[in-house]
Amino acid sequence: MTETEPKSPQPPRRRVAFFGSPAWAVPVLQALHQKHEVVLVVTQPDKPAGRGLHLTPCPVAQWAASQGLRVEKPAKLRKNPLFMELLRELKLDVAVTAAYGKILPAELLEIPRFGFLNLHPSDLPKYRGPAPVQWTLIQGELETAVCIMQTDAGMDTGPVVARWRTTIEPDETALELSNRLRDKGIELLLQALADLERLQPIPQPAQGTHAPMLQKDDGKVVWERTAVAIYNRHRGVQPWPGSWFVHQGKRVKVLRMRLAEPATRPLHPPGTVVCIADDLLVATAEGQVSLLELQPEGKKPMPAADWARGARLREGDRLG
């Protein structure tokens, strides 16, 4: 920059409250803390963890405390006048949510000067709810987005102020995709905070797709599905609940899997062991999947072919 060139104005520092809980949300808080004045961090209450089930703060609470930030962990938000009064006293410009885990009551949303902004990793109105990336992959979407949304009283139904679309990599897992969308979402969020006075929210359609919290059974491998559907679900349930099937009454985790070519209608019933070589090839309703690494119940991870030989499986046997 030469002496005659004007300096770019610095973005305004906002007074921000951050609402978030899991490790995924920590980089969002870190970026806000670096660029703005985070006057309050709100997380879920401490929960039992570890073998001793000791009450443990969530990752966001732990990081915020390490930075000397004020942390509140209200058990409830509705009918909580003390918490409401605290937020009013802070004279907030804006509040930001990222995987906080609770619906915000309407009276809370009105307190910050510019309301609440939410970083949501889906192409809204698709996949509203707590597990958007997971269901995006399970449903076999080829593209997705991350959105910055003005929070309203519904579940991810507020108007969108920024959106970035991207194709999904063929082997991308939920963990990988969610982190990639979050990192781009941080860029969008910081730009939105700089432009709060000039944002132009775009209302969402009323109808959308719901992405409910995953359950343990969502990871079960159903061999009667197509190979593509089984693989997409495998990608979507990483790292939790993970893929698994039951053989001879014991659960076997599928740690690594890939699609096998060609994806044609098999000559074997779904779940049939087609080949045991370097991997374990299994028939599905259409096509085959290659199991690469498994973890039998109570044992360490191992190559799938080693497990198959140890279980005395032969070609033509059926899993389950």
pLDDT tens across 12-58, in order?
999 999 999 999 999 999 999 999 999 999 999 999 887 778 899 99
For residue 196, the tally of other CB atoms under 10 A from its CB is 16
For the cut 70, the answer to whether the pLDDT of residue 7 exceeds it is no
Q: Residue 254 is part of a domain; what is its CATH number? A: 3.10.25.10
Please state the φ and ψ torsions of residue 123, each to the nearest 5 degrees. -90, 75
Q: 258-310: per-residue pLDDT in tens?
A: 999 765 555 789 999 999 999 999 999 999 999 999 999 999 999 999 999 99
Residues 174 and 238 in one domain: no
Mean pLDDT of all residues belonging to the chain: 94
For the cut 70, the answer to whether the pLDDT of residue 194 exceeds it is yes
Kindly calculate the radius of gyration of the chain based on its CA atoms and give it in whole angstroms. Answer: 23
For the cut 90, the answer to whether the pLDDT of residue 89 exceeds it is yes
| Both structure tokens of 272 | 């049939």
For the cut 50, the answer to whether the pLDDT of residue 1 exceeds it is no
Structural domain tally of the chain?
2
For the cut 60, the answer to whether the pLDDT of residue 188 exceeds it is yes
For the cut 50, the answer to whether the pLDDT of residue 207 exceeds it is yes
Q: Which of 198, 224, 256 is the C-terminal boundary of a domain?
A: 198
Taking the C-alpha atoms of residue 164 and residue 212, their distance in angstroms, rounded to an integer, is: 23
Taking the C-alpha atoms of residue 229 and residue 222, their distance in angstroms, rounded to an integer, is: 9
| Both structure tokens of 115 | 């309301």
Residues 124 and 224 in one domain: no
Does any domain span residue 187? Answer: yes
Q: Residue 296, class by beta-carbon neighbours within 10 Å (0-12 exposed, 13-18 middle, 19+ buried)? A: middle
Taking the C-alpha atoms of residue 307 and residue 293, their distance in angstroms, rounded to an integer, is: 9
Q: What's the confidence (pLDDT) of residue 178?
A: 98
- Print the domain residue range for 277: 216-310
Does any domain span residue 185? Answer: yes
